[in-house]
Amino acid sequence: MDKIKILGIGGSLRKGSFSKGLLLEAKKLAPEHIDLEIWEDYDFPSYNPDLEVPENVKKFKNKIKEADGILFSLPEYNYSVPGFIKNAIDWASRPYGDNSFEGKAAGIMSESIGTTAGSKAQYHLRQMFVFLNIHPINKPEFMIPNATDKFDKEGNLTDGETRDKIIPYLEALVDWAKKIR
């Protein structure tokens, strides 16, 4: 069976981030037919079309293009996505006509310290997907409420019930990626 390449994009820069912890747990649990790579270098300048595309942005764009699917993992900041994720998306989708996300399958995992579980961040990300022509899986959804009860202080997932949802979610993303490619 060919390996399916998934690029994990984490939505928090915080040390001990739940978003990164969730991606690391997904990478650890990923079945052999899934190659989950986590992107870590978000040191991009603010998007400005007058700037030359930085080398790390070029690498990011290439990783997206090489992937069969994208797995976003993000918290909710002020009812939306973290600013650096929006900036990374802007860089990866520009210049016009060179959208790295074009036609990609995507999954979204979100978490929140409250009960909303990142649902508003997922909604805003899905709105961006329309223009980007990203095709998200709609079911199952993956949202973690009360994240402080499910991760330790270093950002490691400690909740078994949440852990049990990761493999089925990855498999749903793989199935979706196969259908749309």
Write the CB contacts of 41 (distance below 8 Å, at least 6 apart in sequence). 56, 59, 60
Strand residue runs (E) in the chain: 4-10, 34-39, 69-75, 105-111, 135-136, 142-144
Q: Class assignment of domain 4-180?
A: alpha beta
pTM score of the predicted model: 0.95
- Strand 105-111 vs strand 135-136: parallel, antiparallel, or unpaired? parallel
Cross-strand pairs, 135: 105
From first to last of its 181 residues, the chain has per-residue pLDDT tens of: 589 999 999 978 888 889 999 999 999 999 999 999 999 999 999 999 999 999 999 999 999 999 999 999 999 999 999 999 999 999 999 998 999 999 999 999 999 888 988 899 999 999 999 999 999 999 999 999 999 999 999 999 999 999 999 999 999 999 999 999 8
Domain ranges of the chain: 4-180
